């Protein structure tokens, strides 16, 4: 069964837009996590950034108390954040690149260039009973390096796939032939979808478990069913956006429905 991890960062972003630095405010990402679990989500994801732009320390400690499924802490390799993770003991950490000027995580982790630091952090986490995932693009060398670090998971960055899907969708709507046709709009998989398929197969062969996330939404998710060996999808923005219109519980249930029927092998 393909699992859903709901990223609640955007709930905190909305709160911080008005209550920045106040120590309270609404909407509450912890309450959102409870709703997501009640609706059937298999896990909760939160990114504790160095600049604390959305999720705050108090959020992650409260999440650790109340999350009954699986708490996934996204984090950069930073001394302060590593120390917090080791005390917090989430079920899994996902190591991501972090740049101060980005709105959201824009690219995959460069494991090749930072292999030793990542491997050292992985060991600290595993020694504390915490699984480790690496957020990377579906690149052969990055996947090989991820396996060498001893990490249990990779999370394939699906942003390029999502962008390609949207471009193809807009081209079809305008009556033009797109340069790259998304898989659900044509008989053959798109270039980026092919990269995800190849990356997932490679990772699986190397003994890595495979998650995926970034830019996934209600329109493009069905195309991802072609990618084998997926364990979990981490989705945030699309679900929180949908919740504005239909409520968070229904938004989570609708996404779960789209994930049904995933076979996992090719």
> Which of 252, 11, 230 shows the shortest CA–CA distance to 133?
230
**What number of residues does the chain have?**
266
Report the sign of the C-alpha dihedral through residues 114, 117, 119, 125, in that order. negative
Element (H, E) at 167: helix 159-173
> Which of 182, 165, 156, 160 shows the shortest CA–CA distance to 234?
156
Query: Cα–Cα distance between 50 and 48 in angstroms, integer?
Result: 7
> What is the secondary structure of 97-158 as a DSSP string?
---TT-SS--S---TTTTHHHHHHHHHHHHHTT-EEEEEE-S-HHHHHHHHHTT-SEEEEE-
Which one of the listed residues 54, 214, 225, 229 is annotated catalytic? Answer: 214
**Local structure of 36: helix, strand or coil:** helix
Write the Ramachandran bin of 40: left for phi over 0, alpha for psi from -120 to 50, otherwise beta: left
Which one of the listed residues 47, 157, 225, 229 is annotated catalytic? Answer: 47
**Local structure of 212: helix, strand or coil:** strand
Which one of the listed residues 37, 74, 155, 164 is annotated catalytic? Answer: 74
Residue 74 β-bridge partners: 47, 94
Residue 214 annotated to the active site: yes
> Which of 34, 135, 25 shows the shortest CA–CA distance to 77?
135
Instruction: Supply the residues annotated as catalytic.
Output: 47, 74, 214
């Amino acid at each position: 069964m393909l699992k859903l991890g709901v990223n609640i960062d955007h709930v905190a972003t909305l709160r911080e837009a008005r209550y920045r630095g106040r120590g309270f405010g609404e909407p509450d990402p912890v309450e959102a996590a409870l709703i997501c679990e009640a609706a059937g989500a298999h896990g909760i994801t939160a990114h504790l950034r160095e600049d604390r732009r959305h999720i705050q320390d108090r959020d992650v400690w409260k999440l650790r108390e109340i999350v009954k499924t699986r708490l996934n802490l996204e984090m950069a390799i930073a001394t302060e954040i590593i120390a917090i993770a080791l005390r917090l003991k989430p079920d899994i950490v996902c190591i991501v690149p972090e740049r101060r000027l980005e709105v959201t995580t824009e690219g995959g982790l460069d494991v090749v260039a930072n292999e030793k630091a990542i491997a050292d952090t992985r060991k600290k986490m595993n020694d504390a009973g915490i699984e480790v995932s690496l957020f990377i693009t579906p690149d052969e060398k990055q996947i090989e390096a991820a396996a060498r670090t001893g990490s249990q998971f990779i999370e394939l960055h699906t942003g390029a796939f999502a962008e390609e899907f949207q471009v193809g969708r807009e081209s079809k709507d305008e009556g033009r032939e797109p340069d790259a046709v998304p898989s659900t709009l044509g008989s053959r998989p798109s270039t980026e979808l092919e990269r995800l398929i190849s990356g997932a197969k490679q990772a699986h062969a190397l003994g890595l478990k495979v998650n995926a996330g970034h830019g996934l939404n209600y329109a493009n998710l069905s195309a991802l069913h072609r990618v084998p060996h997926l364990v979990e999808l981490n989705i945030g923005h699309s679900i929180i956006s949908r919740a504005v219109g239909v409520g968070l519980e229904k938004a989570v249930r609708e996404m779960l429905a789209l994930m049904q029927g995933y076979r996992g092998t090719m």
